[in-house]
Structure 1
Amino acid sequence: MKYVIGIDLGTSAVKAILVNMKGTVIAEAAEAYPLIHEKAGYSEQKPEDWTDGTVAAIARLVNEAGVAAADIDGISFSGQMHGLVLLGEDGAPLRHAILWNDTRTTEQCRRITEELGPQLLRIAKNQALEGFTLPKLLWVQQNEPDLFARAAAFMLPKDYVRYRLTGHMATDYSDAAGTLLLDVTEKQWSTAIADAFGLPLSLFPPLLESSDCVGTLLPEMAGKTGLSPQTKVYAGGADNACGAIGAGILHPGTAMCSIGTSGVVLAYEENRCADYEGKVHFFNHGLTNAYYVMGVTLAAGYSLQWFKETFGHGLSFDELLNGIEDIPAGSGGLLFTPYLVGERTPHADAVIRGSFIGMDGSHTLQHFARAVLEGITFSLKESLEILRASGKEISAVISIGGGARNETWLQMQADIFGTEMVKLKSEQGPAMGAAMLAAYGAGWFPTLEVCADAFLMASERWKPDPNRNEMYEQLFDVYRQVYANTQSLNEGLLPFRR
Structure 2
Amino acid sequence: MYLLGIDIGTSSIKVAVVDVNTQKSVATAQYPDEETEIKSVKPGWAEQSPTDWWQHTQQAIFKLNALGLFNPKEIKAIGIAYQMHGLVVVDKEQNVLRGSIIWCDSRAVELGEKAFDAIGHEKSLQHLLNSPGNFTASKLAWVKNNEPDVYSKIDKIMLPGDFIAMKLTGVITTSIPALSEGIFWDFKNDEISSDVMDHYGLDGNLIPDIKPLFSVHGSVNAEMAELLGLTGGIPVAYKSGDQPNNALSLNVLKPGEVAATAGTSGVIYGVSEELTYDQQSRVNTFAHVTYSKEKKHTGVLLCINGTGSMYRWAKHNFAPNSSYAELNILAAQASIGSKGLKVLPFGNGAERMLNNKYTGAQLLGIDLNTHTQADIFRAVQESIAFSFRYGLDIMRENGMKPQVIRAGKANLFLSEVFAQTFVDVTGIPVELYENDGSVGAAIGAGIGSGIFKNAEEAFTQHEIIKIYQPKNSEAYEHFYQEWKNILNKSI
**Fold shared per TM-score above 0.5:** yes
Deviation at 1:236, TM superposition (A): 1.4
Per-residue CA deviations over 1:188-207 (Å, capped at 9, x if unaligned) read: 31122101221111011122
Change (3 A) 1:486 1:390: closer
Matched AA of 1:294 = L
Q: Which residue of 2 aligns with 1:421?
A: 430
Q: Determine if contact 2:328/2:417 at 8 Å carries over to the other structure.
A: no
Q: Which residue of 2 aligns with 1:375?
A: 383
Deviation at 1:345, TM superposition (A): 4.1
Deviation at 1:186, TM superposition (A): 4.7
Distance 1:29 1:159 in 2: 21
Q: Which residue of 2 aligns with 1:496?
A: none
Q: Which residue of 1 aligns with 2:392?
A: 384
Q: Does 1:270 align with 2:282?
A: no
Distance 2:365 2:197 in 1: 48
Change (3 A) 1:184 1:476: farther
Q: Determine if contact 1:421/1:462 at 8 Å carries over to the other structure.
A: yes
Residues 444-483 of structure 1 mapped to structure 2, 5 A cutoff: 444-454=451-461, 456-465=462-471, 468-483=472-487
Q: Determine if contact 1:7/1:76 at 8 Å carries over to the other structure.
A: yes
Matched AA of 2:473 = N
Aligned to 1:449, the other structure's residue is in SS state helix
Q: Which residue of 2 aligns with 1:85?
A: 88
Q: Which residue of 1 aligns with 2:13?
A: 14
Matched AA of 2:278 = Y
Matched AA of 1:140 = V
Q: Determine if contact 2:330/2:377 at 8 Å carries over to the other structure.
A: no
Aligned to 2:157, the other structure's residue is in SS state strand
Q: Does 1:72 align with 2:75?
A: yes
Deviation at 1:187, TM superposition (A): 4.3
Per-residue CA deviations over 1:14-47 (Å, capped at 9, x if unaligned) read: 1110000212111111223433222222211221
Residues 95-494 of structure 1 mapped to structure 2, 5 A cutoff: 95-118=98-121, 119-130=123-134, 132-184=135-187, 186-271=189-274, 273-277=275-279, 278-289=281-292, 290-349=297-356, 351-360=358-367, 361-400=369-408, 401-424=410-433, 426-428=434-436, 430-454=437-461, 456-465=462-471, 468-487=472-491
Deviation at 1:117, TM superposition (A): 1.9
Aligned to 1:296, the other structure's residue is in SS state strand
Change (3 A) 1:275 1:36: closer
Distance 2:417 2:330 in 1: 10
Distance 1:35 1:11 in 2: 8
Distance 1:404 1:363 in 2: 25
Change (3 A) 1:473 1:185: farther
Distance 1:81 1:27 in 2: 25
Q: Which residue of 2 aligns with 1:494?
A: none
Distance 1:285 1:143 in 2: 33
Gaps of 5+ in 1: 488-498
Q: Determine if contact 2:4/2:79 at 8 Å carries over to the other structure.
A: yes
Deviation at 1:373, TM superposition (A): 0.5
Deviates more, 1:76-85 or 1:119-128: 119-128
Deviation at 1:89, TM superposition (A): 2.1
Distance 1:190 1:410 in 2: 40
Aligned to 1:305, the other structure's residue is in SS state helix
Distance 1:331 1:123 in 2: 45
Aligned to 1:257, the other structure's residue is in SS state strand
Matched AA of 2:107 = R
Q: Does 1:29 align with 2:38?
A: no
Q: Determine if contact 1:297/1:343 at 8 Å carries over to the other structure.
A: no
Change (3 A) 1:391 1:191: closer
Q: Determine if contact 1:170/1:207 at 8 Å carries over to the other structure.
A: yes
Deviation at 1:287, TM superposition (A): 1.8
Per-residue CA deviations over 1:220-259 (Å, capped at 9, x if unaligned) read: 1111110011211113111101000001111133212101
Distance 1:239 1:252 in 2: 19
Deviation at 1:350, TM superposition (A): 5.0
Change (3 A) 1:316 1:184: same
Distance 2:238 2:189 in 1: 19
Distance 2:319 2:86 in 1: 31
Distance 2:299 2:130 in 1: 12
Deviation at 1:184, TM superposition (A): 3.6
Change (3 A) 1:450 1:187: farther
Deviation at 1:56, TM superposition (A): 2.3
Matched AA of 1:26 = V
Structure 2-normalised TM-score?
0.93
Distance 1:305 1:69 in 2: 34
Q: Which residue of 2 aligns with 1:495?
A: none
Per-residue CA deviations over 1:102-159 (Å, capped at 9, x if unaligned) read: 12223312321222122222222112333x1112111111111122122121111110
Q: Determine if contact 1:236/1:286 at 8 Å carries over to the other structure.
A: no
Q: How many residues align?
A: 479
Distance 1:323 1:88 in 2: 50
Per-residue CA deviations over 1:407-461 (Å, capped at 9, x if unaligned) read: 232111111110111111x232x2122111111123232211331233x210111
Q: Which residue of 2 aligns with 1:490?
A: none
